[in-house]
Amino acid sequence: MAKERLAVLEVEKKVGNEKVEGEVGVSKFFLPATEMGFTPNPSLLDRSDELSGIDGRRVGAKNDYAPSGSVVMRGYATYLGVLLYLLFGEIKSEEGDGVAVKDPTGAAIPKKAWKHTFTKKSGATPRSARATLAYFDKWIRARGVTCNSLAFALADDGVKITGALMANYLARLTVDPAFEPKGDALSILPFRRRNCTVTTAALEATTLLNSIDFSLEQSLEAVRPLGVATGWPQATERTNNPEGFLRLGGSLSRRDFDPVDWDALIEAAIFSIQFQFQSEQAITGVEGGTYPYSLWVTTSGAQFTGGGPETLKQQARHESNYDWQAGATEAGKSDFECVLVNGTKSYTE
């Protein structure tokens, strides 16, 4: 490829690390990120505490690495899907038929529009990917890339998604990987504040909602099996505690103190929250009607965990801010749901 600055993500079918190149699907997602990067985080072997005749620090030796990374991107429906798949681990993709395949509001989805329902991957091993970063004429490749979290925030220039990443191995490529960039047309816009609707059924506050942020998080740790002699992690697994499960939480801000919020906090009340992002742009190529790029994140088991109104001052109103988390209300039922509708057929191929 020509010398460019690109971030490419490929879902792994076989997890990569220092010893294994890994196997990726044919789909290549050229992320329109505002920034993305990885660092090897080397931990030198420091022997300065030894009696060696040196009154000072002794030079270190290479030892272990703990690669980490991050990605920041506006809410483009196509590319958001691959990040959600990497985080959740499982996906059910259905082409609309104009009748039976419906979105969370009950509206039928037409042909050539795809409904993607994300669910949590079972077991200890998260979904992984391979990432390649082109710094114009230099390249870095990460294998075994996993996602710790995705945070969604409303900003003036679009819904911002910030992801925390880990990797099993980082390498500087000496040969151009020769990708042929291909992605959505520049005319396709990301989700913005104007596309977002938030409903909190059973939390019947009358004060205007000012902002609401949320994040999807899972706790992961690098695995260094003794069967392989290397300083690089060979795998990534969920931590051995409840924090290893993917969870949803966030914050809610109102323009004034509302007693309904206060009472819900004190009583540990359960309420639902639904985030709906619906673009004014229709999915291209849809047959039998039109349908907008859309995303829903829903929980029926939200509870406040902290917060309250700002301190009393001589002013007309007092803004309030509360932290909340999602939880399951019954056995066998997920604590939250995530559905994306766009024009992408598959994230697994």
- Is-contact 121 88, C-beta < 8 A? yes
Quick count: other Cβ atoms within 10 Å of Cβ 334? Answer: 16
Residue 2 has pLDDT above 80, yes or no: no
Quick check: 315 and 268 in contact, CB under 8 A? no
In a domain, 256, yes or no: yes
Per-residue pLDDT at 212: 82
8 Å CB contact between 130 and 38: no
Q: What is the pLDDT of residue 346?
A: 96
Q: Tell me whether residue 225 is in a domain.
A: yes
Specify whether the CB–CB gap between 241 and 316 falls below 8 A.
no
pLDDT at 1 over 70: no
Within a domain: 349: no
pLDDT interval class at 147 (50, 70, 90): very high
Residue 347, domain member (yes or no): no
At 205, the pLDDT band (50, 70, 90 cuts) reads confident
Number of structural domains found in the chain: 1
* Residue 166, domain member (yes or no): yes
Domain extent at residue 200:
4-43+62-342
For residues 167-187, give the mean pLDDT.
93
Name residue, tokens 């990569």.
16
pTM: 0.94
Alpha-carbon span 228 to 310, nearest angstrom: 54
Evaluate whether residue 221 is within a structural domain: yes
pLDDT tens digits, one per residue of 290-325: 999 999 999 999 999 999 999 999 999 999 999 999
The C-alpha angle 65, 66, 68, rounded to 5 degrees, equals: 135
Mean pLDDT of 117-129: 97
Burial of 311 (0-12, 13-18, 19+ CB in 10 A): exposed
Q: Could you tell me the pLDDT band of residue 202, with boundaries at 50, 70 and 90?
A: confident
pLDDT for 155: 86
